[in-house]
Amino acid sequence: MTVLTDPFVSKKFSLKNRLVMPPMATGKSDDGKVSENLLAYYDEKTKGGKIGLVIVEHEYILAEGKASENQMSVSDDSDIEGLKKLADVIHANGSKAFLQINHAGGKAVIKEPKSAGAVEFARRNEPAVLAKMMTQDDIDHVIESFAKSASRCKAAGFDGVEIHAAHGYLLSQFYSPLYNPRTDAYNGTTIEGRTRLHCEVIKAVRRAVGEDYPVAIRFGAVEDLEGGAAAEEAPLAAKRFEEAGADLIDVSGGMSGYIRPLVKDAGYFRNETDAIRKAVNIPVITAGGIETREQADELLASYQIDLIGVARAILKDSAWAEKNMD
């Protein structure tokens, strides 16, 4: 029976165990750059070398796609030096490291954000904003920027890159029938249209980093919203991601985020992850509310899941991995 401490080996990468620290935004950057506080945070979380894989919090690929004021940047070559220091800290503590790259779309912190369509987006403590529908030139620029950012990730020494397509950001907006009113090739009414941008980004990233470099995608597989993305569609989308060149699918929520009010058991997306894994030939990660080693092992035993993401438990207790991975 597979347990959390077992090694993991796939075609593109291997890990000492199956524990993943998922991306969690810290707000510790200094004007988009890696700060000393950020280095100290990741040093503290990875000391002891018990975490198999750390997926570093999302970095914006374009200033127009910035999700928060204190988000880190991978939008310029000048970011590479600081990111290399971050990769080195994680590696020195014995963990592998992927970097997550993102565009916030309609949720970006600018006056006139762009999205799949002219859709209104709520703002925390501010009036809602109406996004502009992206033109083909806008879309092409985003695809190119994802690819360039992935190249910077590789240049900085990270072991892989993760494309953020969850939690209501740009790629989630294209995937959601509720937020994608388009009628062109990126339409919001077919799986092919809703995943077209995802697949084009994956292919562009693959061309940029080469065949041997791991490319993951964090996929907002389900929306607990009436008329939103349905769970039964997720395996079809995931298969398209695999065919486009993805090496790993990190399963989470879409426009409704990473919390599921009606799902209380550990591993909020366990059923969606299991269904996706049965449809693809690449590994999958599940996460959501996993707080104990027993819960992690039960998920590995009961579902077709390869890797376990433990987020808030590690956020609360930096020694969680050392306490639970013997």
Segment 204-231 mean pLDDT: 97
> What's the confidence (pLDDT) of residue 43?
98
**pLDDT class of 80 with cuts at 50, 70, 90:** very high
User: Domain limits of the chain?
Assistant: 17-324
> CA angle, 25 as apex, 21 and 28 as ends, to 5°?
115
> Hey, what amino acid is at 307?
L
pLDDT, one tens digit per residue, over 108-125 is 999 999 999 999 999 888
Segment 21-40 mean pLDDT: 97
Residue predicted with more confidence, 122 or 245: 245
Question: In this model, does residue 22 exceed pLDDT 90?
Answer: yes
Segment 234-244 mean pLDDT: 98
pLDDT, one tens digit per residue, over 34-78 is 999 999 999 999 999 999 999 999 999 999 999 999 999 999 999
Nearest to 315 by CA among 274, 230, 272, 258: 258
Catalytic (active-site) positions: 169
Strand locations in 153-291, DSSP E?
A: 160-165, 215-222, 248-253, 284-286
Segment 238-245 mean pLDDT: 98
Could you give the C-alpha distances from 65 to 58, 105, 158, 174, 273, in angstroms and in order?
11, 6, 22, 14, 28
> What's the confidence (pLDDT) of residue 259?
87
pTM (whole model) above 0.85:
yes
Segment 125-146 mean pLDDT: 96
Gap between the Cα atoms of 5 and 52, Å rounded: 9
pLDDT, one tens digit per residue, over 284-323 is 999 999 999 999 999 999 999 999 999 999 999 999 999 9
Nearest to 163 by CA among 227, 210, 99, 87: 99
> What's the confidence (pLDDT) of residue 126?
83
Domain boundaries 17-324, CATH class: alpha beta
> What's the confidence (pLDDT) of residue 326?
87
Segment 173-194 mean pLDDT: 98
User: How does 58-74 read in b/e, with b if 16+ C-beta sit within 10 Å?
Assistant: bbbbbebbbbeebbbbb
73, β-bridge pairs: 60
Gap between the Cα atoms of 190 and 186, Å rounded: 9
| Strand, helix or coil for residue 291 | coil
In the chain the first and final C-alpha atoms are separated, in Å, by 16
> What's the confidence (pLDDT) of residue 169?
98
> What's the confidence (pLDDT) of residue 123?
85
Task: Tell me 35's DSSP state.
Answer: P
Task: Tell me 33's DSSP state.
Answer: B
> What's the confidence (pLDDT) of residue 170?
98
